[in-house]
Each structure stands twice: as C-alpha cells, then as structure tokens.
Amino acid sequence: MLGSPCLLWLLAVIFLVPRAQPLDPQDFEEEEEDETETAWPPLPAVPCDYDHCRHLQVPCKELQRAGPAACLCPGLSSPAQPPDPPRMGEVSIVAEEGRAVVHWCAPFSPVLHYWLLLWDGSEAAQKGPQLNATVRRAELKGLKPGGVYVVCVVAANQAGASRVPEAGREGLEGADIPAFGPCSRFTVPPNPRTLVHAAVGVGTALALLSCAALVWHFCLRDRWGCPRRAVARAAGAL
C-alpha cells in the first residue's frame, strides 16, 4: 500500500516536470518574431514632401511619380466634384504702395487653377487672373489707403469651382467672416506719407497764422491806430 503513492508521485515527476519547464527556447523565438512584425511593418509609409500651403508646390501625384522611393499623398476628394474651398491665410499689406500679398492653402481636392475675388465696396467683385495649381500667393494692386476690402480665393477643376460664401458685400458691412474659410477682410491703413504731409501742412498753417498775428500786432495796429492809444495821445496833447 505504501508503494502505490510513491509510484504515482514518481510518475507525476517524470511526466509533468518537462512540460512545466517554463523556458522553452522555441516559444521565445516565436514571441520575438511577433514583436518584430508589429514594430517594423513590411512597407515603411513615408509621406511625400508635400505642403498644401507652400507656394509653387509641385502636385503630390507628380512627386509620387518622380520620386525614387514610394511615398504617400494625402487623400483627395473626387475629381468628379468641384474642389473644396481653399483656406485663406495671411494677407500682408504694403500701405505705402497700395498693394497686398494674399496667401492661401490648397484644399485636399484635385485643383486645376485658382483665382481671387475682391470686393471693394461696389456690388460686383473684381475677378483676378487665372493662376495655375502650384500657386499659393498672389498680389493685389491699386488698393486705396483707408479702404476696407474682402478677398476670397476660389479653386476650380473640370467639375466646377469651389464655393464662395456670401462674404463680399455682407463682409464689407461687418458680418463675420469665418476663420479658416476661403475669405478674409482687411483694411488698408492710411498711407504714412500722407499722414506726414498732413502734419507738415497743419504745422505750416499754424506758423503762418502766428506770423500773421504778430505782423498785425506790431505793424498794422500802429498804422490803423488803437482806440486806447488814440485817447492817450489826445490826452497828452491837452
């Protein structure tokens, strides 16, 4: 009777211990392989050197075709739809020269060309020349000092042109223009040179007035006589 538990224990040691061995080299190798697969995907995904706000940016599709290695382009909307509106960026105003440089960012849509629309207070917008799809900035000329303007950028492809909000006249009248949209309102500051001219003009006028007052005081008043002095002279003669 004593032999059978001992025998059972012996059998248990012989059959279970090798299975319970935790350090099985094959298991380890498999685990390592799993880890390397998740950390290093078979095709490394490198985005193309494409910046949708960069001026004279080569279209991403062309970068993909020309590049030595495959790269990824951002997704675009369908070419069968008009482009999404571009995003208006900074408007840099050069007040002395009556011009402004407008920057924008491309939409994530196929674009054939851009143009600008400018409202200057009259009902109709002025449409700028057509610009090719690489262009991201353009110049506005002939702006009046002190003038308020609304400028919008439009993108177009075969399917049509991007939406322009009812920004023009309403925008000029103070309605809010959404940030990150295709439009921007700006005011050209008064020309600093005209301010200097005005200041010099006012200064000169004041100086002339003072001179005139002095001349009147010392010369003309003597000739025409002052009532009080005339009375004093008459009193002296007596």
Question: Which stretches of the chain bind ligand NAG, using CB under 6 A?
Answer: 132, 134-135
Measured from the CB atom, is 91 or 135 closer to ligand NAG?
A: 135
Q: Report the nearest approach of ligand NAG to the CB of residue 133 (Å).
A: 8
Which of the 8 DSSP states describes residue 100?
Answer: E
Q: Report the nearest approach of ligand NAG to the CB of residue 134 (Å).
A: 5
Which of the 8 DSSP states describes residue 183?
Answer: E
Q: Report the nearest approach of ligand NAG to the CB of residue 104 (Å).
A: 14
Residue nearest to ligand NAG (CB): 132
Q: 3-state DSSP call for residue 112? A: coil
Taking a C-beta distance cutoff of 8 angstroms, is the pair 87, 109 a contact? Answer: no
Q: Report the nearest approach of ligand NAG to the CB of residue 56 (Å).
A: 6
**Which of 61, 109, 115 has its CA nearest to residue 84?**
109
Q: Report the nearest approach of ligand NAG to the CB of residue 116 (Å).
A: 13
Measured from the CB atom, is 136 or 188 closer to ligand NAG?
A: 136
Measured from the CB atom, is 135 or 148 closer to ligand NAG?
A: 135
**Which of 25, 34, 32, 69 has its CA nearest to residue 49?**
69
Measured from the CB atom, is 54 or 169 closer to ligand NAG?
A: 54
Measured from the CB atom, is 81 or 132 closer to ligand NAG?
A: 132
Q: How crowded is the C-beta side of 92, counted as CA atoms within 13 Å? A: 6
**Which of 131, 162, 132, 134 has its CA nearest to residue 59?**
134
- Distance separating alpha carbons of residues 91 and 100, to the nearest angstrom: 7
- Distance separating alpha carbons of residues 214 and 220, to the nearest angstrom: 10
Measured from the CB atom, is 114 or 119 closer to ligand NAG?
A: 114
Measured from the CB atom, is 56 or 237 closer to ligand NAG?
A: 56
List beta partners, residue 119: 150
Q: Report the nearest approach of ligand NAG to the CB of residue 193 (Å).
A: 31
**Which of 184, 173, 176 has its CA nearest to residue 137?**
184
Residue written as token pair 């010099």: 200
**Which of 138, 132, 134 has its CA nearest to residue 151?**
138
Q: Report the nearest approach of ligand NAG to the CB of residue 43 (Å).
A: 31
